[in-house]
Structure formats: structure tokens, C-alpha cells
Amino acid sequence: MTTEDRRNPPDDRPTQTDAEAAVRTLIRWAGDDPQREGLRDTPGRVARSFAEFFGGYALDPVEVLQRTFDEVEGYDEMVVLRDIRFESHCEHHLAPIIGKAHVAYLPRTRVVGISKLARVVDIYARRLQIQEKMTAQIANAIEEVLQPHGVAVVIEASHQCMTTRGVHKPGTTMVTSRMLGAFRNDAATRREFLAFVGVGVAGPSGTGNV
């Protein structure tokens, strides 16, 4: 995992005042007056929204995953958390990406609280993203910290940069996967996971369409 994958706030991060000035510029560029009554408070609202949308840059997924449990009474079967809803933003158009993630791992000696898996998804979602990279980042973080026998991540999402602009194709869903360890090398394990989460059939392992 790279430093960028963990936490990467820019050293020269602008102030909120700078951000609000940028929003006023965009409003003017769009053809409206940022000083009119309905828009006067919009720059501040947008800046605060961005702080929420992109709060994942200030959080470290490794720190979230490091509190693990060793007393598992020998449990070594698949752990699956499915339908983790997330909201992200595409790094090309800043348009929303809305979807759900399915995460699984085969524990070796340690397990982690299931809320931590959901938090890792949220940390990476709350950054400027492309879906393929986000899928790999989640899987790689879990593998690095838990060192399980295998990790599997599948993400299904709708991209507003495709549904509300450009080709205008609403109702389309992009599916990406990242299979590591046993999920990559053992077709039966991969099929079991995909059956649990109800996503298609096993295709080529690695990052890409399931």
C-alpha cells in the first residue's frame, strides 16, 4: 500500500476562504451572480459539503483495521460483509458515484470488527476516486493489516458522470472486483463468495469486471 493510499492531505491545502472564493468564481462562470440572495451563502455551504464528501483524506484505513481479535476459537471460515452502501465522487468530473461494496476475507489468526470493514470502505469512498482503484485499495488494506488467507472485494455502482451527462445512460451499473489469495487461486472459494453476495458468476480473478 502506498502512502497515497493511506492518507494524503496536500501540504499546501487552501483555506475555507480560498475554497469559498473558488465557488464564487464557478457561479460567475456558470452565468449567475454569487451575490444575489439565493446564492449568497452557497459558497460556504459548498465548502462545508466538500469537507464532508472528502473527509477520507484525513483518515488512515490501516489505523482503523489494526484493532483485531485473536480469540476466535479456531474460526477459519469466510467472513463476508455485503451491501455496504457508499457515496463517492469521480475524480474526472466530481460527479457522484453511488453504490454498494461486498467485502470478504478468510482469517488466518485474527479477525476484525465488522464495523471496521465498513469504515475502510467509507474512508476510500470519501476521496476523489475511480471505481477500479477504490476496489483495489480496500482489498489491499485488508490484506496488509489482517494478513488473511484471502481477500475479496466486489463493488457495484452507478456513475452520475455517465447517467446525468455525456452519454446519458441511466440504469447502468459498473461492477469491479479484486480477488487476493485463496479467492484468486481457488475457483470454489471465489464461487462461494460470489454466491453469498449474489453477484454473477466467477470470472477472471484480479481487478476488473466479475
- Contacts (Cβ under 8 Å, ≥6 apart) of 2: none
Active-site residue, selected from the candidate residues 20, 89, 90, 149? 90
- From 89, 102, 131, 143, the catalytic residue: 131
Question: Which entry of 93, 144, 147, 192 is annotated as an active-site residue?
Answer: 93
Q: Is 18 in contact with 47 (CB distance < 8 Å)?
A: no
Candidates 132, 144, 147, 161; catalytic one: 161
State the residue for C-alpha cell 464461487: 191
Return the percent helix, strand and coil in the chain, to nearest 5: 45, 25, 35
For residue 208, give Cα distances in angstroms to 119, 124, 176, 198.
23, 18, 5, 17
Contact assessment for residue 203 and residue 179, using Cβ atoms and an 8 Å cutoff: no
Active-site residue identified among 4, 63, 87, 92: 92
**How many of the other CB atoms lie within 10 Å of CB of 169?**
11
Helix (H) or strand (E) run with residue 76 in it: none
Q: Would you call 93 a catalytic residue per the annotation?
A: yes
Task: Give me the catalytic one of 137, 149, 159, 160.
Answer: 159
CA angle 166, 169, 172 (to 5 degrees): 130
C-alpha cell recorded at residue 158: 452507478
16 among known catalytic residues? no
Active site residues: 90-93, 131, 159, 161
